[in-house]
Amino acid sequence: MANVVVIGAQWGDEGKGKITDLLSRSADVVVRYQGGVNAGHTIVVDEKVLKLHLIPSGILYPETICLIGSGTVVDPKVMLSEIDMLLENDIDISGLQLASTAHVTMPYHRLLDQAIEQRRGEKKIGTTGRGIGPTYADKAQRNGIRVIDLLDKKRLRERLNVPLSEKNDLFKNIYGVNQLKLDDLIEEYLSYGERLAPHIVDCSRTIHQAARNKKNILFEGAQGTLLDLDHGTYPYVTSSNPVSGGACIGAGVGPTLIDRVIGVAKAYTTRVGEGPFPTELEGSINDQLCDRGGEFGTTTGRRRRCGWFDGVIGKYAVEVNGLDCLAITKLDVLDELEEIQVCVAYELDGERIEYFPSSAEEFARCQPIFEKLPGWERSTADCRRLEDLPSTAMNYLRFLAELMEVPIAIVSLGASRDQTIVVEDPIHGPKRALLSV
């Protein structure tokens, strides 16, 4: 039995959906612990492309409980559309559960998110406009609507009165947005609650019962380490804590329940939205990585910014998450390159540094210091064992493992489930030993 956290080790979009899908095969319970519909992952199963934003990819396994935890913020309209999509594809959703204490993203959250971002102008953050930040803000201000409130008309009316009045004042007097009607919201969201009612559970009790029964629990984070509200590239971050410690808060468990933390990183680096990006590329190589990697956001469709692998933020992710091992994804995207570069340090105001600066202004001034490695210039898409990889590809993986001082347990070479090499058991393998391949 092992309880495992899977996190993104970069700026999100690392391919966590596929890795979570792989690990879900041996999980009894999969828990999504933070974020909302600002996240998204794509799963390819039997040539079907399934795009999910809230529901964990473990839903593809009929015996697995998939729990959306208390730390998430839930847009019930989107969740129900995902349920309908899964049902249309003959996928069993009987194991889907939703925390009664998760907060609900309301229409006024989306309107406010978009209005605030537009008002920022050139200083925009690059949010998805899906209302995530305002939902978490209402949660912190004790003005939030929770899933359990959607089950009781009287309670929902009482809970909505204050926040809706506040938001309507903002819409009318500051942002010039049409006001929302209380009765319309109540009827709409009660109907969502009625459909979701069979899935609503006590999150913490469900998880602890599974732990007492010696079940394997997989905690799935959205976004990535560098988008963490406290530990990322603030202010260009998300509104929650994607780092591994967020699993304890978002799921309602103590840290002693966690046995292992697995990080997911691309063989290069991407980010979407605004903010500093030291290894960002321009021109033909950027376009090549973007096109070969299909680097367009699952949630927004925005083209992602691409760059070389950044070992500085990689080592930072190892530290703040306590990573035991890594899954490296999209190695095949580098197949055609004659030369590959890896950032091993930064130059900041004329000085070499090997740490991630906490100041956004300093981070923006960081210039990458690269080491060059030879490419392999041949396809790896059909490789299924380490021995099948070109020697230069093996050397590249070894270089990354030694740079970050953490083993690589999984190598992904495409979107399909079978395009994966498992180097060592990511759940029960040796902890914190360097990769030897």
Give the model's confidence band at 17: pLDDT under 50 very low, under 70 low, under 90 confident, else very high. Answer: confident
Averaged pLDDT for residues 352-371? 96
Burial category of 433 from C-beta neighbours within 10 Å (exposed 0-12, middle 13-18, buried 19 and up): middle
Task: Return the amino acid letter for 248.
Answer: C
pLDDT value, residue 46:
72
Catalytic residue among 41, 53, 109, 199: 41
Name the least confident of 34-43, 176-185, 302-311: 34-43
**CB-based burial label for 319 (10 Å; 0-12, 13-18, 19+):** middle
Q: Which two tokens stand for residue 307?
A: 């760059």
pLDDT at 425: 72
Burial profile 376-392: b = 16 or more Cβ within 10 angstroms, e = fewer: beeebeebeeeeebbee
- Of 344, 362, 326, give the one whose Cα is nearest residue 7: 326
**What's the pLDDT at 300?**
65
Has residue 60 got a pLDDT over 60? Answer: yes
Share of the chain above pLDDT 70, in %: 96
Confidence of residue 434 (pLDDT cuts 50, 70, 90): very low
pLDDT given for residue 274 in this prediction: 86
Q: Are strands 260-266 and 3-8 parallel, antiparallel or unpaired?
A: parallel
**Residue 21 confidence class, pLDDT cut points 50, 70, 90:** confident
Confidence of residue 299 (pLDDT cuts 50, 70, 90): low
- Look at residue 433 in the predicted model and tell me its pLDDT: 44
Which pLDDT score, from 0 to 100, does residue 435 have?
43
Per-residue pLDDT tens for 196-208?
999 999 999 999 9
Query: Average pLDDT, stretch 106-124?
Result: 88
Q: What's the pLDDT at 294?
A: 87
Strand 408-412 relative to strand 420-422: parallel, antiparallel, unpaired? antiparallel
Residue 123 binned pLDDT confidence (cut-offs 50, 70, 90): confident
The answer to whether residues 12 and 225 touch, using CB atoms and an 8 Å cutoff, is no
Pairwise CA distance, residues 31 & 65, whole Å: 8
Of 116-120, 123-127, 287-291, 304-308, the one with minimum mean pLDDT is: 123-127
Phi and psi of 302, rounded to 5°?
Answer: -70, 145
Percent of the chain with pLDDT over 90: 74
| Averaged pLDDT for residues 300-327 | 93
Closest alpha carbon to 53 in 223, 226, 245, 271: 223
Q: Do you find a cis peptide bond into 390, omega within 30 degrees of 0?
A: no
d(CA 198, CA 221): 24
Q: Tell me the pLDDT of the chain averaged across its residues.
A: 91
Q: Say which residue the tokens 């809706």 belong to.
A: 164
Mean pLDDT of 50-73: 90
Q: For residue 301, count other CB atoms closer than 10 A to its CB.
A: 8
Concerning whether 13 is annotated as a catalytic residue, the answer is: yes
Instruction: Give 429's pLDDT tier (boundaries 50, 70, 90).
Output: low
pLDDT surpassing 60 at residue 213:
yes
- 313 pLDDT higher than 80: yes
Residue carrying structure tokens 């740079």: 403
Instruction: Indicate the burial class of 133 (C-beta count within 10 angstroms; 0-12, 13-18, 19 or more).
Output: buried
- What's the chain look like in SS3? CCEEEEEECCCCCCCHHHHHHHHHHHCCEEEECCECCCCCEEEEECCEEEEECCCCHHHHCCCCEEEECCCEEECHHHHHHHHHHHHHCCCCCCCEEEECCCEECCHHHHHHHHHHHHHHHHHCCCCCCCCHHHHHHHHHCCCCCEHHHHHCHHHHHHHHHHHHHHHHHHHHHHHCCCCCCHHHHHHHHHHHHHHHHHHEECHHHHHHHHHHCCCCEEEECCCCHHHCCCCCCCCCCCCCCCCCHHHHHHHCCCHHHCCEEEEEEECCEEECCCCCCCCECCCHHHHHHHHHHCCECCCCCCECEEECEEHHHHHHHHHHHCCCEEEEECHHHHCCCCEEEEEEEEEECCEEECCCCCCHHHHHHCEEEEEEEECCCCCCCCCCCHHHCCHHHHHHHHHHHHHHCCCEEEEECCCECCCEEECCCCCCCCCCCCCCC
Average pLDDT estimate for 244-262? 96
- The answer to whether the CB of 34 falls within 8 A of the CB of 246 is yes
Residue 191 reports pLDDT greater than 80: yes
- Given the residues 13, 75, 113, 310, select the one marked as catalytic: 13
Model confidence at 310, pLDDT cuts 50, 70, 90, reads: very high
Catalytic residue status for 92: no
pLDDT at 431: 58
Give the pLDDT confidence score for residue 49 in this predicted structure.
80
The strand pairing partners of 45, in sequence order, are 48
